[in-house]
Amino acid sequence: MMTKRDHGGDLATAIRRFGGQPGDWIDLSTGINRVPFPVPVISERAWRDLPGRPAFDALVAAARTAYGTDWPVLPLAGAQAAIQLLPALAPAGPVRILTPTYNEYAGVLAQAGRQVQKVDDARALHGAGVAVVVNPNNPDGRCHAPDALHAVAARVGLLVVDESFADPHPDLSLLPGACPPNVIVLRSFGKFYGLAGLRLGFALGARAHLDRMAALAGPWAVSGPALEIGAQALADAPWRAASIARLSGETARLDTLAVQGGWRLVGGTALFRLYDTPDAQAAQARLARAHIWSRVFPWSSRWLRLGLPGTPEEWTRLENALA
């Protein structure tokens, strides 16, 4: 039986504990952009027909342009879909994950029967059969330069680099460089573009790895509407640039509010911030009484993660809750 793992976004729990309806809440627990890409009108064909090769190829071309890469690209139903396929690609040897980080890597690989070692220093990844690095990291925003990751790749069997939060931080990405034969990069579409419900993401890497993943994912791994919306969004360079500028500017505003509320910045990205609080459960409850949901972690009594509000009304509510 699959073990349920802790994640953000569980508004049902928030409502059960603190009342209200889903529309009453501001969900800042996930790090998903609260100002999403404006969804275009979707063609009747995208709904009616099975997803076809031209739409698939258009999405791949748009992804390569947006990510500045010539690596092979495989669209999937979210970065999570790629994580589920990793056990089938993992070579023999220790599985080492740089932690603390997104808990699905350890969960999926352990459930597949692999012994997972959690390490807190990138040098401890050396010698692993499979090494996993989230860059920038979730939840603390720890970053690794491309050169440092190439050095890790040279000393492991397979390096998986999760760039789900890298869209606002393109200087961190491995994708503009050459494609090493033993590296897989994962990208999330839904987080930066604010359309998590679309379930779209990408695996990028050597063709042999992607062919294996494609065979396991089966035909039509991405819906027609996701192919169409994703291609249009990834091709919209002005929207991407404006969103990066807005998010980068608003992190300072959120940090100021948090510090004034008695919290200390631990780290973060342009899509979420992590704070050290005197009592994370109490801090979460304080926000929840204003129907603002945040993320706490079962392994820390002090850390609280908070996404960025989107609208002026959301900012005002957060300011009042922290005042």
For the chain, 323 residues long, give each residue's pLDDT as a single digit of tens.
445 677 877 899 999 999 999 999 999 999 999 999 999 999 999 999 999 999 999 999 999 999 999 999 999 999 999 999 999 999 999 999 999 999 999 999 999 999 999 999 999 999 999 999 999 999 999 999 999 999 999 999 999 999 999 999 999 999 999 999 999 999 999 999 999 999 999 999 999 999 999 999 999 999 999 999 999 999 999 999 999 999 999 999 999 999 999 999 999 999 999 999 999 999 999 999 999 999 999 999 999 999 999 999 999 999 999 98
Q: What is the pLDDT of residue 1?
A: 41
Q: What is the CA radius of gyration of the chain?
A: 20
d(CA 100, CA 137): 8
Nearest C-alpha neighbor of 292 from the set 278, 313, 276: 313
Strand pairing report for 95-98 and 116-119: parallel
- Measured in Å, how far apart are the chain's first and last C-alpha atoms? 44
User: Which residues share a beta bridge with 300?
Assistant: 297
Map out the domains of the chain with their CATH numbers: 11-36+238-322 (3.90.1150.10), 44-235 (3.40.640.10)
Residue 171, both tokens: 């200087």
Q: What is the pLDDT of residue 6?
A: 75
d(CA 312, CA 61): 35
- Count CB-CB contacts under 10 A for residue 17: 10
Residue 49, both tokens: 């027909």
d(CA 64, CA 67): 5
Give residues with Cβ within 8 angstroms of 237, minimum separation 6.
Answer: 66
Taking only the tens place, the pLDDT of each residue in 113-141 is: 999 999 999 999 999 999 999 999 999 99
Q: Residue 139: is the preceding peptide bond cis (ω within 30°)?
A: yes
Q: What is the pLDDT of residue 216?
A: 97
Taking only the tens place, the pLDDT of each residue in 196-223 is: 999 999 999 999 999 999 999 999 999 9
